[in-house]
């Protein structure tokens, strides 16, 4: 009889797409499979194979299972649908869209036989320069939690495992293997862990990915607090905890501290390291068994062993999912400035449109790195506008700026460039000296074995031909470092350890005939040279056709910001716009007062130089493959913008509360002793990044200090107007009880539109310091002109709680709370007091 029950249970799971709950039948089957395995076979299952697969075990009928990188699309296995994901998803503030996005990604995965989707990424956007912010969501734990739960539910409903990443505190990309995110438990619990908690306890994600970084000095993949105490203990996670690719550093420590699956291969959790460790008692075999059971149990719940993952009903190229991609782009694009109501544009008055800039064409669906999806047919802003307006409108395109190499090659250095190559990394000894005419040096020659140190110094001068601003730009590659000095002052430097880098630039104000002495010191990481420096007079930097097009157009759209080469995995990005783009915007605005700026990027960026010179500013984040269509529909009023900022927009990088702490203090560095792949001790130098900003992340900092960012969290303009009224909050409530809050939202304008009603809670009577306000509820409301909707939001106990470090639990202090409702963190016209008893 038990055999018959087991067969029925497994037959149901095979027919269903969504995973079935764990059951005694599945548990018995998993234990039965485990019982036939040798210790060697069990250990083999703990590592991946062929980069993107789990290990097969034919003796128990277990095939290998397929994975794919994610975030904006199922990107590993060829062209795909590229969605507005990550930060763009957060800008929608739309739970329903998050679910629909998850379902679409699930269908795309099934069409490619993918079992594990390596997403979503849900780390907090602590700083605007974080290289993978565009993959993540927002600066707020409540917003992240509210969106990740339906996303996971949608994805897993299609029979695909969601892998929530990167657990935990992966808030910067520089030196990510050796950087430790150090903070107190309260900050961790209130800011950086809630979205992971919601993903596990509410979304029921069946896989979690540990991050590269250390947390409080311990690698995430072997961190007992994160993996055993919190994830598998307090949150009751029953699924698979895997490493990020090559994020495992010690096989025994990882095995003992919760890691179940080492990807992409078992460099550490292998027979060589673990067999002897089990035999001599350093690792318990029961710990190995638990890992294998998690793998088997999860795969049985999804029916992976009983049905093919490929579903021919799911199209590889999906027209249905193109509509989902367009919806995400339309809902996420955020209007930040619209002086004199220039938008929406009247097609009858815009017969010549100049679309200028590096991001105008080709399309920029997403950022770079492992999330970079290749779309079948991405729509650029140029083609999106032309497609919408048809043959009667002239669309003129120019990139606006030359290539970086052209700038460097065209720089007229006075007397040429002296290049000195030193036989060490210290610019000492007798150098090999050569003479050239430019600093655009790409030499692959070997100087000796890998790691042979060299240093290269370039010395030259530049004379200004006219008075004005000159752009100085430098670029290297990989982990190279450099420093550029102008008249003895360091003006550009790349001094952080990263797996990649982007060009850096600055402006020099020079008088006509002024000569500047330039010295560039370059430290190549690999045995070759990959370095360039150039300088250009800003008015001459702008391409001539861009100026001509802008002057003759009825309206100019300038598309600037970042792309897959300037923002992505392995390195952080700049807060400044990429080189030359400020000058380009200024030139277009000078040529045509009807200039619209469309920004692309994973968060805030510096726009102060030209913001008051343009009437319209739009942020399209990374809008996916349909971004060009969505931008066109918003510019010409076919769709009313409804995106809202998921991050606070700083005026300058120095204004961000994380900036004093971001790179850490070298005096805090320590040495970590671990065991290498050969079983021998290995020492790692750990950079400790102390999160001295603590709870003061994003709007929590701005509202607590009374200072103001350029644009506040939750902000976004519409082509219509809204009002809030009739706030109803009970005057008292019992601690721990659910508190209903209701209010009305009215469309007071003449166009259908969407408002995001945001609810913040303040706790002025708390016994500890708390942020002045925190988001604890929101509702996206779609309204016709004149329409009013009544909204009710329920606040649970967590909405009023803080983490008490003494008692290690969530705590509510009785006393006064303030409920605030509005449309941004700084605009909350409705306020009411509540006494918690």
3-state secondary structure 330-362: HHHCEEEEEHHHCCCCCHHHCCEEEEECCCCCC
Q: Which residues of the chain have pLDDT under 70?
A: 1-16, 444-451
Helix (H) or strand (E) holding 539: helix 538-541
* Dihedral sign computed on CA atoms, order 315, 316, 322, 325: positive
CA 455 and chain centroid, separation: 34
Contact criterion met (CB below 8 Å) for 785 and 720: yes
DSSP 309: S
- Helices within 19-94 (DSSP H only): 24-35, 39-44, 87-92
pLDDT for residue 17: 79
Contact criterion met (CB below 8 Å) for 788 and 802: no
Would you mind telling me the total number of residues written for the chain in this entry? 837
Burial (0-12, 13-18, 19+ Cβ within 10 Å), 544: exposed
pLDDT for residue 684: 79
Contact criterion met (CB below 8 Å) for 507 and 517: no
DSSP 548: H
* Interatomic CA distance for residues 560 and 549, integer angstroms: 17
Helix (H) or strand (E) holding 252: helix 251-256
Q: Which of 570, 578, 394, 353 is nearest to 474 (CA)?
A: 578
* Interatomic CA distance for residues 791 and 784, integer angstroms: 16
C-alpha pair distances (Å), 331 with each of 83, 508, 755, 756: 12, 40, 11, 11
DSSP 667: G
Contact criterion met (CB below 8 Å) for 724 and 759: no
* Interatomic CA distance for residues 438 and 518, integer angstroms: 12
pTM of the model: 0.95
* Interatomic CA distance for residues 71 and 82, integer angstroms: 9
Map residue 758 onto helix, strand or coil: strand
Number of helical H runs and strand E runs in the chain = 20, 36
* Interatomic CA distance for residues 154 and 96, integer angstroms: 10
Helix (H) or strand (E) holding 533: strand 529-537
C-alpha pair distances (Å), 78 with each of 82, 314, 316: 12, 16, 10
pLDDT for residue 4: 33
- Vertex 43: Cα angle to 38 and 47 (nearest 5): 145
Say what angle helices 319-332 and 627-635 make with each other, to 10 degrees.
Answer: 50
Q: Which of 804, 792, 799 is nearest to 836 (CA)?
A: 799
Contact criterion met (CB below 8 Å) for 606 and 561: no
Q: Taking all residues of the chain, what is their mean pLDDT, rounded to a whole number?
A: 95
Q: Which of 44, 210, 244, 813 is catalytic?
A: 244
* Dihedral sign computed on CA atoms, order 635, 641, 643, 648: positive
* Dihedral sign computed on CA atoms, order 599, 603, 608, 609: negative
Cis ω before 166 (30° cut-off from 0): yes
User: Nearest 10 degrees: CA dihedral of 417, 422, 427, 430?
Assistant: -100
Q: Which of 313, 382, 321 is nearest to 80 (CA)?
A: 321
* Interatomic CA distance for residues 793 and 765, integer angstroms: 23
Strand locations in 349-488, DSSP E?
A: 352-356, 394-398, 414-422, 432-436, 439-443, 455-463, 468-475, 481-486
Tell me the pLDDT tens digit for each residue of 236-290.
Answer: 999 999 999 999 999 999 999 999 999 999 999 999 999 999 999 999 999 999 9
Question: Known catalytic residue: 244?
Answer: yes
Residues 6+ apart with CB under 8 A from 275: 39, 40, 43
DSSP 186: H
Residues 6+ apart with CB under 8 A from 565: 368, 502
* Residue 221 phi, psi dihedral angles, 5° rounding: -70, -10
Map residue 401 onto helix, strand or coil: coil
* Interatomic CA distance for residues 381 and 129, integer angstroms: 25
Q: Which strands make up the sheet holding 207-210, listed edge to edge?
A: 67-69, 116-118, 161-167, 207-210, 240-243
Contact criterion met (CB below 8 Å) for 373 and 366: yes
Encode burial over 183-195: b for 16+ CB neighbours within 10 A, e otherwise.
beebbbbbbbbbb
């Amino acid at each position: 009889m038990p055999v018959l029950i087991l067969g029925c249970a497994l037959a149901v799971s095979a027919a269903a797409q969504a995973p079935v709950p764990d059951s005694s039948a599945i548990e018995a089957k998993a234990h039965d499979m485990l019982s036939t395995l040798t210790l060697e076979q069990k250990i083999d299952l703990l590592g991946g194979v062929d980069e993107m697969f789990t290990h097969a075990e034919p003796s128990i009928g277990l095939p290998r299972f397929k994975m794919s990188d994610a975030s904006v699309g199922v990107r590993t296995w060829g062209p795909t649908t590229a969605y507005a994901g990550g930060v763009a998803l957060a800008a929608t503030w739309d739970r329903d869209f998050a679910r629909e996005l998850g379902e679409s990604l699930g269908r795309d995965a099934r069409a490619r036989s993918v079992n594990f989707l390596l997403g979503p990424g849900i780390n907090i956007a602590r700083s605007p320069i974080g290289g993978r912010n565009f993959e993540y969501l927002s600066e707020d734990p409540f917003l992240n939690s509210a969106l990740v739960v339906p996303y996971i539910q949608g994805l897993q409903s299609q029979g695909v495992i969601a892998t929530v990443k990167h657990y935990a505190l992966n808030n910067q990309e520089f030196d990510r293997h050796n950087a430790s995110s150090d903070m107190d438990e309260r900050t961790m619990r209130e800011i950086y862990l809630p979205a992971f908690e919601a993903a596990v306890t509410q979304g029921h994600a069946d896989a979690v990915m540990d991050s590269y970084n250390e947390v409080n000095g311990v690698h995430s993949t072997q961190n007992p607090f994160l993996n055993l105490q919190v994830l598998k203990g307090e949150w009751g996670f029953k699924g698979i905890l895997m490493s990020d690719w090559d994020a495992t550093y010690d096989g025994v420590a990882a095995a003992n501290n919760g890691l179940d699956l080492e990807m992409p291969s078992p460099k550490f959790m292998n027979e060589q390291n673990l067999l002897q460790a089990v035999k001599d008692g350093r690792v318990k075999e029961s710990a190995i068994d638990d890992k294998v059971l998690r793998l088997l149990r999860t795969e049985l719940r999804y029916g992976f062993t009983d049905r093919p993952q490929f579903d021919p009903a799911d199209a590889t190229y999906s027209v249905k999912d193109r509509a989902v991609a367009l919806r995400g782009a339309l809902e996420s694009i955020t209007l930040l400035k619209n002086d004199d109501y220039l938008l929406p544009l009247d097609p009858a008055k815009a017969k010549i449109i100049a679309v200028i800039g590096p991001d105008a064409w080709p399309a920029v669906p997403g950022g770079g790195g492992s999330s970079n999806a290749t779309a079948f047919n991405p729509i650029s802003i140029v083609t999106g506008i032309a497609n919408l307006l048809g043959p009667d409108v002239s669309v003129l395109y120019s990139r606006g700026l030359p290539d970086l190499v052209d700038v460097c090659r065209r720089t007229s250095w006075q007397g040429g460039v002296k290049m000195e190559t030193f036989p060490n990394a210290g610019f000492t000894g007798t150098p090999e000296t050569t003479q050239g005419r430019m600093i655009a040096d790409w030499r692959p020659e070997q100087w000796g074995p890998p790691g042979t140190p060299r240093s290269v110094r370039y010395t030259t001068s530049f004379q200004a031909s006219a008075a004005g601003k000159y752009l100085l730009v430098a670029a290297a590659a990989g982990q190279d470092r450099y420093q550029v000095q102008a008249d003895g002052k360091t003006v550009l430097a790349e001094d952080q350890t990263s797996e990649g880098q982007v060009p850096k630039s600055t402006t020099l104000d020079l008088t006509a005939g002024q000569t500047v002495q330039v010295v560039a010191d370059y430290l190549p990481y690999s045995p070759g040279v990959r370095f360039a420096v150039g300088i250009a007079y800003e008015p001459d930097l702008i391409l001539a056709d861009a100026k001509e097009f802008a002057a003759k157009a009825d309206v100019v759209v300038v598309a600037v910001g970042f792309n897959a080469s300037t923002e992505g995995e392995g390195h952080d990005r700049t807060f400044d716009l990429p080189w030359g783009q400020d000058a380009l915007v200024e030139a277009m605005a000078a040529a045509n007062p009807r200039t619209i700026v469309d920004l692309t990027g994973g968060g805030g960026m510096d726009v102060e130089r030209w913001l008051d010179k343009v009437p319209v500013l739009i942020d399209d984040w990374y809008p996916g493959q349909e971004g060009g269509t969505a931008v066109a529909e918003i510019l010409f009023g076919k769709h009313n913008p409804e995106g809202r900022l998921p991050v606070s927009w700083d005026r300058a990088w120095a204004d961000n509360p994380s900036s004093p702490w971001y790179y850490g203090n070298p005096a805090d560095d320590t040495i970590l002793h671990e065991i290498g792949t050969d079983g021998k001790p290995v020492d790692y130098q750990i950079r400790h990044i102390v999160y001295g900003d603590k709870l003061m992340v994003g709007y929590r900092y701005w509202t607590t200090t009374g200072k103001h960012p350029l644009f506040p969290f939750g902000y976004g303009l519409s082509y219509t107007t809204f009002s809030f009224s009739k706030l109803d909050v009970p005057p008292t409530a019992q601690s721990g009880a659910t508190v209903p809050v209701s209010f009305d939202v009215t469309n007071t304008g003449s166009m259908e539109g969407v408002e995001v009603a945001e609810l913040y809670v303040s706790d002025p009577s708390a016994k500890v310091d708390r942020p002045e306000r925190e988001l604890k509820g929101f509702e996206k409301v779609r309204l016709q002109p004149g329409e009013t909707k009544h909204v009710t939001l329920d606040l649970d106990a967590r909405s009023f709680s803080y983490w008490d470090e003494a008692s290690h639990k969530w705590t509510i202090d009785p006393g006064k709370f303030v409920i605030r409702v509005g449309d941004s963190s700084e605009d909350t016209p409705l306020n009411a007091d509540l006494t918690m008893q």
